[in-house]
Amino acid sequence: MLAVWRVTHLLQAEDGPFDVIFHIRKSLGNGMLGSLMDCFYCLSLWVAAPVALYLGTTWFEKVTEWLALSSGAILIQAVFIKDDKLPPG
């Protein structure tokens, strides 16, 4: 869960080393992928998906772990990080 939060936060809110992530976000523009990089909730789903696919053994486990990992990352973000980009809760 912490790894999902960390990668999601890096992609959504940080510039990364040598501003690499900033340049990627900038190159994606305002299209669908650019909008995805602006939404922590949406991005956490996509970051959690490969982790859940790797960890789960059955499809039920994969789906529940996918949602749980994303939800855990969102909870960490909402409770511990002051972020004006999150929707009001």
pLDDT digits (tens, 9 = 90+) for 32-51: 777 778 889 999 999 999 99
**H/E run at residue 61:** helix 59-80
Nearest residue to 69 (alpha-carbon basis) of 54, 85, 84? 54
Q: Domain for residue 87, yes or no?
A: no
Q: Domain for residue 85, yes or no?
A: no
Q: Domain for residue 86, yes or no?
A: no
Q: Which tens digits make up the pLDDT trace of 18-34?
A: 989 888 888 887 777 77
Number of domains in the chain: 1
Rounded Cα distance between 85 and 40, Å, is 8
Q: Which domain holds residue 28?
A: 2-80
Q: Domain for residue 50, yes or no?
A: yes
pTM exceeding the 0.75 threshold for the entire prediction: yes
How far is CA 84 from each of CA 31, 58, 65, 80, rounded to the nearest angstrom?
A: 21, 37, 27, 13
Phi-psi region of 20 (alpha: psi -120 to 50; beta: other; left: phi over 0): alpha
Residue 37's pLDDT is what?
Answer: 82
